[in-house]
Amino acid sequence: MQITTPYAFGKKLDAPFQMTVDRVRAELGKEGFGVLTEINIQEKFKEKLGRDFRDYIILGACNPALAWEAFGSEINIGTLLPCNVVVYRDDDGKTVVMAMDPVAALGVIGNPKLTETTKMVRAKRERVLAAL
């Protein structure tokens, strides 16, 4: 099942959470993305607030070649990078994978030089999701 918001796109899967996280990492790698950061929200909420939360991982993904192009067009782009991909367990027990829509998110910059780069990033993210 496809999911779209004004700032992200993704899909809902009937697959185990950790297996999905591993597959997302592998598919991101095939598209040239490395995971620079990983934040386990469930662990952080437990550690910092003593509260239980659903399985929820934020993967900060970056494609170095495309990041290089983006920095060449807009030096302050670092405030919006890396582009996040999240994997979480929803209320129905399904696993959801959502990716930040770089066209929407980076469109706020208003720099036409970034348009082609963001379209390439989006296409790569769409292929990642299609492979899941």
pLDDT, tens only, 111-130: 888 888 999 999 999 999 99
pLDDT of res. 105: 86
Name the residue ranges covered by the structural domains of the chain: 2-131
Domain spanning 2-131, CATH architecture: 2-Layer Sandwich (3.30)
Tokens 């993967």 belong to residue? 59
Q: Give me the mean pLDDT over the 34-44 stretch.
A: 97
- Least confident window among 15-29, 30-44, 96-110: 96-110
pLDDT of res. 33: 97
pLDDT of res. 116: 86
Percent of the chain whose pLDDT exceeds 90 = 86
Q: How far apart are CA 132 and CA 124, in angstroms?
A: 13
Strands, E assignment, the chain: 2-4, 8-13, 34-40, 56-62, 83-89, 95-100
pLDDT averaged over every residue in the chain: 95
Q: Which is nearest to 9 in space by CA: 80, 88, 102, 81?
A: 102
